[in-house]
Structure 1
Amino acid sequence: MKGRVLICAGSDSGGGAGIQADIKSVTALGGFAMTAITALTSQNTLGVQGVLGVEPAFIRQQIASVMDDLGADAIKTGMLHDVPTIEAVCDELTARARGIPLVADPVMVAKGGHHLLAPDAVQTLKRRLLPLAALATPNIPEAEVLADMPIDGEASMLAAARAILAHGVPAVLLKGGHMEGEVLVDLLVTAEGVVRFEDRRIDTPHTHGTGCTLASAIATGLAQGLALEPAVARARRYVRAAILAAPGYGGGHGPLDHGVTVEAGRFD
């Protein structure tokens, strides 16, 4: 086991996304996952039925408890649903996690369409969270909000990623899964240049939690000493394998097989 990853995110009762997907992903890639839970959700593959926020003071206490004893080699943030939550996480990370790479997954909308970020919190996320991050991992709809522009192709993906860089984050992985077509493109954009990742689309509804999974897998790579581009490349391979091995659970957007790296029957 190598690489301590502190995850600040919401819980998914269905197990496919959120804290549950984060822990599984970090573990599957050989890291050690720790958590500061920001919200509880009642959800399944069909959607989100309810959200219960955690008191900001207790979110801060969870972060402090982990950092004061266990420490971390990387941080990952996911669902930070309102202004007080973003402020609490950013304040505590500023105080206790300076110099530790942060992967910020700007979770805004669940796979089923439920909004997971208050509209008035977007500016706070831009102002407080992005400058703390080493990498932001928005999908197309999230990037449109963060960049305040429509995205309709690869050229506008690049323009949006560069607009997000202007908020102070040094790297953006803009995920192209929401674009139409058989070929999907992700762009890793920094001030130094662009790395383009391309894959064939997998025709499946079982993609619940892909964003959480990818961001946590990248954070694990960074925690284990990988440079950013190799960490992204490995994380993308892991997510693709987990989608291909999805168990088909639920009647909607089903979960991935986060244990795809585990040898079947190893402990029999």
Structure 2
Amino acid sequence: MKTNTMFRYPVALTIAGSDSGGGAGIQADLKTFSALGVFGASVITSITAQNTTGVRGIQAVSPEIVEGQIDAVFEDITVDAVKIGMLHNREAAGIVACAIDRFSLSKVILDPVMISTSGSKLMEDETIEVIVNELFPKVMLVTPNIDEAAFLSGMPIRNEEEMEKAAQELLARGCRSVLMKGGHLEGSERADILYMKDSAPLRLVVPAVQTQNTHGTGCTLSSAIAAYMALGKGLPDAVSLAKEYVTAALEAGADVQTGHGHGPMNHLFAPVPLIKIKA
């Protein structure tokens, strides 16, 4: 007998820039959502002309269209978690900050994308002030890499002791929790460490994957965290599971050549079917 019970998919929204090469940004986020069994929606903040060798150009999407995309999604679709990536200008950052308040968003992951893997600058200087003052206090988690954390904290980071000092500085500046990514530190054992205001740090250590296909790792990690949050995981579990997924995706794509530079990982190495939850 047919039941009248209605269901819906868990939904994650990415607010980020488009990568024409497909390895990072919106494209990587949507692949990650799909691989982890989450329906993905998107708000494009900027369009880049790039490939595996670098970024050739960036054009910001107009503030009206950024805001219009956000409104269109939230007025129609139940969103369970949000990942914020590249915000090229202060207008986009301000619109996103206001949206967090307007739609009472709680599960928000901020990846402060400032410099691409190839070394290209992706954010205007005045945008940083808006992100620190308006977004840091509103989001659940900030996920800077070492270079971004050093810039944002104003401190050098060469080891885990300095990593912790920088994390504490970011927490003091309004962050509720910070995931410090230690992949760029020297030494054979490099850890990502989750710092939370009210809990002990969570140290995550996995073997380094020997590959040049690392384009989009930061985007993928933050979107995987958002996906697991959309599936109902708490923050520490979501971070741990996301780290496992990224490591496996790097391993699966380690010996694949896509382009002539830093290629992408294999996001879809083991896709999970979409699940349904009661509407």
Mapped contact 1:26–1:33 kept (Cα < 8 A)? yes
Which residues in structure 2 correspond to 1:103-252 (within 5 Å)? Answer: 103-191=109-197, 192-246=199-253, 247-252=256-261
SS of equivalent residue, structure 2 residue 75 = helix
* 2:83 is equivalent to residue 76 of structure 1: yes
Aligned to 1:255: 264
Q: Distance in 2 between matches of 1:5 and 1:230?
A: 17
SS of equivalent residue, structure 2 residue 206 = strand
Residue 169 of structure 1: how far off its partner (Å): 2.1
Aligned to 2:276: none
Residue 2 of structure 1: how far off its partner (Å): 4.3
Q: Distance in 1 between matches of 2:121 and 2:220?
A: 19
Q: Distance in 2 between matches of 1:222 and 1:67?
A: 18
Aligned to 1:266: none
Residue 14 of structure 1: how far off its partner (Å): 0.2
Aligned to 1:36: 43
Mapped contact 2:144–2:180 kept (Cα < 8 A)? yes
Aligned to 1:93: 100
If the length of structure 1 is used for normalisation, what is the TM-score?
0.95
Quick one: percent identity of the two aligned structures? 42
State the 4+ residue runs in structure 1 displaced beyond 4 angstroms.
none
Aligned to 1:8: 15
Residue 127 of structure 1: how far off its partner (Å): 0.5
Gapped regions of structure 1 (runs ≥ 5): 264-268
Q: Distance in 2 between matches of 1:199 and 1:93?
A: 33
Q: Distance in 1 between matches of 2:228 and 2:77?
A: 18
If the length of structure 2 is used for normalisation, what is the TM-score?
0.91
Mapped contact 1:16–1:254 kept (Cα < 8 A)? yes
Aligned to 2:64: 57
Q: Distance in 2 between matches of 1:5 and 1:238?
A: 17
Q: Distance in 2 between matches of 1:99 and 1:79?
A: 19
Provide, for residues 196-215 of structure 1, a one-character-per-residue CA deviation record: whole Å limited to 9, x for no partner. Answer: 11122112110000000000
Match of 1:18 among 19, 25, 47: 25
Aligned to 2:3: none
SS of equivalent residue, structure 1 residue 131 = coil
Which amino acid is 2:134 matched to? R
Q: Distance in 2 between matches of 1:228 and 1:21?
A: 21
Mapped contact 2:191–2:205 kept (Cα < 8 A)? yes
Mapped contact 1:72–1:100 kept (Cα < 8 A)? no
Mapped contact 2:35–2:271 kept (Cα < 8 A)? yes
Provide, for residues 91-120 of structure 1, a one-character-per-residue CA deviation record: whole Å limited to 9, x for no partner. Answer: 122212x14310000000001111001122
Mapped contact 2:171–2:178 kept (Cα < 8 A)? yes
Higher RCO (CA-CA < 8 Å; seq separation 6+):
2
Most deviating of 244-253 and 1-10: 1-10
Mapped contact 1:74–1:102 kept (Cα < 8 A)? yes
Which amino acid is 1:259 matched to? L
Q: Distance in 1 between matches of 2:271 and 2:76?
A: 29
Most deviating of 164-173 and 204-213: 164-173
Provide, for residues 141-167 of structure 1, a one-character-per-residue CA deviation record: whole Å limited to 9, x for no partner. Answer: 010111111111000101111111122
